[in-house]
Structure 1
Amino acid sequence: MRRRSALIGSQNLNLRPNIGTVLLQHLAALQRAATVERYVIHDRMNPFRSYNNEEFVARYRVTKECVTELLETIRHSLAIVHNRGSPSPPHLQLTIALRYMTTGNFQPSMANCSGVPQSSVSTCVSTIAARLAELAPRHIRFPEPNNEKTIMSQFSVIAGMTGW
């Protein structure tokens, strides 16, 4: 009996896992569980290269030249937007915001179309809107009261709408 119990006891000792091994396994499991999937914004589609002039105007309602000029004007005030370490380049911020503004889509659907998270769409739209508001006084001028009638008649010829 003694021999048999000694054999069983030694087998039990061999079956016990090392506490260090168990801790390492638990740590590895925790690291796997804590890993967060991150969006990585690749410059996989540059709208300036991907679309011809007609397609670009159809999507963004302005020409490539206009967007390029606007981008050069506001580029210095556009920080690279980070979404947990994934940067959005300035041209992508501008085209996302323009597309959102021209279509009136909801931000989640814009996120799906552009391949960025909804939070990045929100950040791009608010940043670009603020930059455009800063530029407005330089580019939007109301007519002087003595020129209103002339300008309204010119506008009605161009747009087919009367202003009075």
Structure 2
Amino acid sequence: MAAGHRAIVRDRMYLRQVPRPRVFRDRSNPLEDLREEEIFARYRFRPDTIYFIVDLCQAAARDTGRCFAIPLVLCVLSYLRFLATGAFQLTVGDTVNLSQPTVNRVCRQVGQVISALADRYICFPSGDRVRQVKQQFGAMAGFSNVVGVIDCTHVSIKKPSSNPEDYIGSIIEITNIKLCIFQAVCDASYRITSAVVMWPGRTHDARIWRQCALRRRFEDGDMQGFLLADSGYACTRYMLTPYMNPVGEAQARYNGALCRTRVTVKQTFGILKQRFQVFRRKLNCSPERACMHIRNCITLHNLAIDRRDIVAVDPIDPNDYHGVDVGDNMDGKAAREYVTRMYFER
């Protein structure tokens, strides 16, 4: 028995030592072979936007010192294909004739380069842009001085190695799916102007906001204007939430206007998940790597908005807000009452 086992091990070692013939795969550029509609269906971006992303990712290109080095455009297409489908790396590699380890490497490299661009594309409006945002929300909401709408959404991820119980759903979840949660603030053009992507799924929306750097800017008076939120957040002097039990027509009209405007952030999440199917599947990686992918999706989403490369999204019911009272403060109630009297009393 021992002799037979040694013979099997010896045969396997011999097979490992036999050099395999090198295979040169056809790595033609899919952007040159497919129609624009086919490219968009596979990568969720138009060809000119993809080439723009390739130009941004020039830092990911490196001289390997070998023949048939992988073109940067294929590296970018591999990463976009992964984000667009959420497929296994082996499946992504088959579409561009790359091996799974190569896809893993190029996705990491391109992902790190795009991550370094995040602060350029995810930034809260300032200067003239603030006035434009307020005007857009004013036409939509019926009251002025709104600079953004805020909400959170969940993303399914691989079970983390530390504190996995924190990622088991939230108060409203009944499944055992591991989740992380990210908070976003968006403007009227569905552009995400602030994103926090570092919290496990059990975390409440209000706690994420309390720890947010943007909140400190509002508290310190650096930011002027209102954020619109659902009742999962506390009503403050700079954050308006719905009345839990509206009394009178003015409060009802205020609730209706706020909810019709706040649906913008829900539509933004819908656009994000429609473009990047990786949000609808489980991110089979560490929480740190998952956060990088989520933030990169937001960066690419904003880049696409800037370039008018958009996707359609189904309409969403505007009257969906949490029935959770997290406690309002007196300044917040006074600000809400002022807005109600100023804009919704007839």
The TM-score normalised by the length of structure 2 is: 0.33
CA gap of 1:136–1:146, structure 2 versus 1, over 3 A, is same
Residue identity in the other structure for 2:147: N
- Over 3 Å counting, the alpha-carbon distance change for 1:100 and 1:151 in structure 2 is closer
1:151 equivalent to 2:187? Answer: yes
CA distance in 2, matches of 1:134, 1:65: 22
Q: Which has the higher strand share?
A: 2
The counterpart of 2:93, out of the listed 92, 105, 111, is: 111
Deviates more, 1:108-117 or 1:130-139: 108-117
Give the counterpart of 2:119 among 114, 130, 137: 137
- Mark the CA change 1:134 to 1:155 in structure 2 (over 3 Å): closer, same or farther: farther
The residue that corresponds to 1:54 in the other structure is 37
AA partner of residue 122 (structure 1): N
Computed over aligned residues only, the root mean square deviation of the Cα atoms, in angstroms, reads 3.3
Task: State the one-letter code of the partner of 1:66.
Answer: T
For the 8 Å contact 2:43–2:77, the answer to whether it is kept is yes
* Aligned 8 A contact 1:80 1:90 in 2: no
The C-alpha deviation readout for 1:58-88, integer Å capped at 9, x for no partner, is 0000111111111112114322568x86521
**Residue in structure 2 matched with residue 71 of structure 1 by the alignment:** 54
- Match for 1:42 among 12, 26, 42? 26
SS in structure 1 at match of 2:45: coil
Give 4+ residue runs of structure 1 displaced > 6 Å after superposition: none
| Counterparts in 2 of 1:100 and 1:94: CA distance versus 1, 3 Å | same
Which residue does the alignment assign to 2:81? 99
TM superposition shift of 1:112: 2.5
> Higher helix proportion, which one?
1
Structure 1 partner of 2:102: 120
C-alpha displacement of 1:155:
6.6
Aligned residue pairs: how many? 131
Give the Å deviation of 1:156: 2.0
Q: Secondary structure at the match of 1:87?
A: coil
Unaligned segments of structure 2, at least 5 residues: 1-13, 127-144, 150-185, 189-260, 268-314, 322-346
Alpha carbons of structure 1 residues 125 and 77: separation in structure 2 relative to 1, 3 Å = closer
SS in 1 for 2:87: coil
